[in-house]
């Protein structure tokens, strides 16, 4: 009798352990990891335990369409130089972080999208009238982030610029505000977010002369075409349902950012 009772207890315990291991048949809390930016107001910003921005809303919507609730998601910081490594090593499932689709990057990762088209611009101090566009940067100290498409374009097209490469845009903004550099270059979406922050409002301005086309894609592990197609379906649904526009208005509207409607919302055409 005692032996039978012990056997029943053992079977019951094993069943409980099995349920715990498989998370009750679904993804466990935090199992779906998405790489995002932590320091880009309006796009991807971490404030304590709170995540906000257009990229965050896109990430949540896509994850939901892939079958993941918000409790399944863990947001992981994805600095610009580390995004390909995070994907290729499986540390994240997706990267949604102002991730421009380029041929060079497609050698290492695959992209779904695009879900937004931005343009490279300049952020300067509000009282600076000498910088009116990229052609007026000769001899100026310009800040950007190492590994970004913005830094690469400046190196290629404007060799007279004194380029300073930092590891985050927030450090560039601090340097600009302090007078250590003359301008910051990255996508206009990101610059507008910084200019609208309370500590910089009225002190910094976006020049408003874009000189590139940045097609934001969702990065995934190289060659996962099935996942890519599912993400593209989700992006299209977000656009058609009006949720894409709601996310734009909520996150970029307060900065006074004007979306280029000739390019946005973009046609979802990438799966490579």
pLDDT tens-digit series, residues 213-234:
999 999 999 999 999 999 999 9
- Give the confidence band of 28 by pLDDT, cuts at 50, 70, 90: low
Helix orientation angle between 243-252 and 54-65, rounded to the nearest 10 degrees: 150
**Distance, CA of 51 to CA of 141 (rounded, Å):** 32
Q: Is pLDDT at 49 greater than 60 in this prediction?
A: yes
Helix orientation angle between 54-65 and 225-241, rounded to the nearest 10 degrees: 110
Tokens of residue 244, six digits: 């894409």
Predicted local confidence at residue 26, as pLDDT:
39
- Average pLDDT for 239-264: 93
CA-wise closest residue to 208 among 257, 251, 250: 257
- Average pLDDT for 14-23: 38
**Distance, CA of 188 to CA of 123 (rounded, Å):** 9
**C-alpha dist (Å) from residue 272 to 65, 114, 171:** 20, 11, 33
**C-alpha dist (Å) from residue 178 to 14, 85, 173, 175:** 62, 33, 9, 5
Predicted local confidence at residue 149, as pLDDT:
87
- Give the confidence band of 254 by pLDDT, cuts at 50, 70, 90: confident
**Distance, CA of 124 to CA of 103 (rounded, Å):** 30
């Amino acid at each position: 009798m005692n032996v039978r009772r012990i056997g029943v207890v053992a079977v019951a315990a094993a069943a409980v352990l099995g349920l715990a291991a498989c998370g009750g048949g679904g993804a466990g809390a935090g199992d779906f990891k998405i790489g995002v930016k932590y320091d880009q107001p309006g796009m991807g910003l971490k404030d304590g335990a709170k995540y906000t921005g257009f990229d965050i809303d896109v990430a949540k919507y896509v994850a939901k369409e892939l079958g993941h609730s918000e409790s399944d998601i863990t947001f992981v910081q994805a600095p610009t130089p580390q995004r390909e490594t995070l994907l290729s090593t499986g540390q994240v499932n997706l990267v949604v972080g102002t991730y421009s689709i380029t041929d060079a990057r497609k050698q290492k990762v695959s992209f779904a999208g695009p879900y937004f088209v931005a343009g490279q611009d300049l952020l300067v101090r509000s009282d600076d009238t000498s910088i009116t566009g990229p052609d007026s940067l000769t001899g100026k100290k310009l800040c950007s982030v190492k590994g970004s498409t913005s830094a690469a374009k400046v190196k290629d097209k404007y060799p007279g610029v004194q380029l300073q490469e930092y590891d985050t845009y927030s450090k560039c903004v601090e340097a600009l505000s302090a007078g250590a550099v003359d301008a910051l270059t990255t996508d206009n979406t990101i610059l507008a977010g910084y200019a609208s922050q309370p500590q910089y409002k009225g002190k910094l301005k976006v020049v408003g002369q874009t000189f590139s086309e940045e097609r934001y894609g969702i990065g995934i592990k190289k060659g996962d075409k099935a996942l890519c197609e599912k993400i593209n379906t989700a992006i299209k649904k977000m656009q058609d349902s009006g949720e894409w526009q709601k996310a734009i208005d909520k996150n970029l509207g307060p900065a006074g950012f004007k979306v280029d409607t000739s390019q946005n919302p973009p046609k979802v055409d990438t799966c490579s």
